Structure 1
Amino acid sequence: MKKSILLLLTCMILTFTAEAQKERFMVLEFINVESDQLFEYIEFKDLMEKVYRQARNDDQIAGWDFWSLHSGADHSDFQYIMITYYDDPVKMMSGLDETRMIDYTKIAYPHLNDAQVVKLFENSLSMREMPMRLYMKEIVCTDDNFQMKPGVLASFDLMKAREGNFTAYEKAEEEVFKPIHQKRIEQGLMGHWSLLRTALPLGSEAKSTHLTMNVYKDYMQFFNAQAYEDMEQSDAQRRAVNEGLNSRDQKWVYLATLENVVR
């Protein structure tokens, strides 16, 4: 009897651990760089890839992306989106402080002395602004084995659930829209889709409550997906789609290309 109880407890713990490991948390930083400093910043983000790779090797982050924006609410506000992935909400909120980033830079660039590393960071901070930062948790995603690599295209759709429709909106995304995206993936019209919920900022004045990330391997796949229309969709399915659309406001859509990636 005791062995049976112990075995059951062990299975429960393993199941809980496996579920916890599936959770993903992300910090999205929308970055503005002055036009006369874009070239310098391109060099900087290549350097940052090596630094974040050290952080990944040290298990401080689960991944890192650097996206170049092509369109959005006002393209002059942002030129890039930087995403840092975490497997733990505490790590997400703590982030990587400047001291740790400098330490990782020293590892990635052993030929630089301490003064050169500090100067590098001072220069990078002076050339960029981050007018918007979102802390998010992944709620649901498609079942796929899509590999993120430079050249991948994505649309970041910022949503705001209508007042009183928060739960209804998430249910619609999971039960109505996810199957649609899953079907597109199986038809070769999409690479990956996920729904994120905003952890911070919160409150009625927050500009968005959710974000959907729609990923395509290239422009050809992206445009084919836009032209696709599911003629087999039933009247009931169309009504469910319309109800889901009415449960939220689509605030902005940002189209971007992946330039650097760490996994």
Structure 2
Amino acid sequence: MKKLIILLVCGVFWANILLAQKTQFTVFEFIKVENDQIFDYIEFKDLMEKVYRQALNDKKITGWDFWSLQSGGDRADFQYIMVTHYDDPVKMMDGLNEESMIEYTKIAYPHLNESQVRKIFEESLAMRDMPMRLYMREIAETNDNFQVKPGVLASFDLMKANEGKFDAYEKAESEVFKPIHQKRIEQGLMGHWSFMRTALPLGSEAKSTHLTVNMYKDYMQFFNSQAYEDMNQTEAQRKAVNEGLNSRDQKWVYLATLENVVR
């Protein structure tokens, strides 16, 4: 009996470790570029794809995405969303500093000398502004094998849990909305869904507390999903959906197309 208890305790311990290892931590950077510098920045982000691939090879990150905004609140303030994925919260908070980026750039572009690399970074910093950066922790996602590749579409929905309903909102997303999205995926109306909690910024003045990411393979799938209505929902299910909707405020919805990806 004693050995059985020890085995059970060890099993729970290792299960928690494996769960922690699978947890994704993500930084979303909303980027603003002046209109007369957009073409220069497009060239720069293509260069950055190779640099972030070096960071992936070095296991500093688990992925990197570069999205071009199609629509959304405060659309004039942002043109792009840069998303960097980590498997550890400390790595997320440390990020990739300028010196690390320069070293990875040297590896990716061995024909460039250090002064050329530094000039590229100085010019890129001068042409962009990041008025909003979010540090997120994934707490729920659908079970799927969606392939994240250039051309896929996503909506980034910034949410703010209503006062006193933080736990109720998270429960609604995990227990009510996740099964709905899973069903849509199984019906071919969606590619992937994930739900994230804001790690930073915090406090009552923060614009959002959560983020949902809804991915689609193309516009056809996106519009079919928007038109779909589940006529088989029970009254109890509709009530649960409405309660979930009333537990949060949907601040903004950003629709974006994936341009570059590193996995």
Q: Matched residue of 2:171: which SS?
A: helix
Deviations 1:100-134 (A, max 9, x none): 00000000000000100000100000000000000
The Cα shift of 1:20 comes to: 1.3
Q: Does 1:251 align with 2:231?
A: no
CA deviation map 1:137-193 (0-9, x unaligned): 001000111110000000000000000000000000011100000000000000000
Change in 2 beyond 3 A, CA 1:51/1:175: same
Partner residue, 1:109: 109
Match in the other structure for 2:205:
205
Amino acid at match of 1:226: Q
CA distance 1:3–1:241, change in 2 (3 Å): closer
Alignment of 1:88-237 (within 5 A): 88-237=88-237
Give the Cα separation in 2 of the matches to 1:216 and 1:32: 25
- 2:71 is aligned to 71
Q: Distance in 1 between matches of 2:5 and 2:242?
A: 49
1:81 counterpart residue number: 81
Gaps of 5+ in 2: none
In the alignment, which residue of structure 2 is the partner of 1:262?
262
| C-alpha spacing 1:226/1:118, structure 2 compared with 1 (3 Å) | same
Query: Cα distance, 1:60 vs. partner?
Result: 0.3
Cα deviation for residue 7 of structure 1 reads 5.0
The sequence identity of aligned pairs, in percent, is: 77
* Cα distance between partner residues in 2 of 1:14 and 1:7: 10
- Match of 1:195, SS state, is strand
Displacement, 1:97? 0.5
- How many residue pairs match? The answer is 263
Find out whether 1:241 has 2:241 as its counterpart.
yes
Displacement after TM superposition at 1:13 (Å): 4.2
TM-score by length of 2: 0.97
Partner SS for 2:41: helix
- Mapped to 2, the partners of 1:222 and 1:12 lie a distance apart of 40
Aligned mates of 1:133, 1:158 — CA distance in 2? 12
RMSD between aligned residues? 1.4
Kindly state the Cα deviation for residue 83 of structure 1 after the two structures are TM-superposed.
Answer: 0.4
Distance 1:11 1:100, change over 3 A: same
The 1:228/1:30 distance shift into structure 2, 3 A limit, reads same
Partner of 1:144, secondary structure, is: coil
The verdict on how the C-alpha distance between 1:10 and 1:236 changes in structure 2, with shifts beyond 3 A counting, is: closer
| TM-score (ref. length: structure 1) | 0.97
Instruction: Return the offset for 1:9.
Output: 5.8
Q: Deviation digits for residues 203-228 of structure 1, max 9, x if unmatched?
A: 00000000100000000000000010
User: Are residues 114 and 158 of structure 1, via their aligned partners in 2, closer, same or farther at CA, if it must alter by over 3 Å?
Assistant: same
Question: Match of 2:131, SS?
Answer: strand
Q: What SS does the aligned partner of 1:136 have?
A: strand
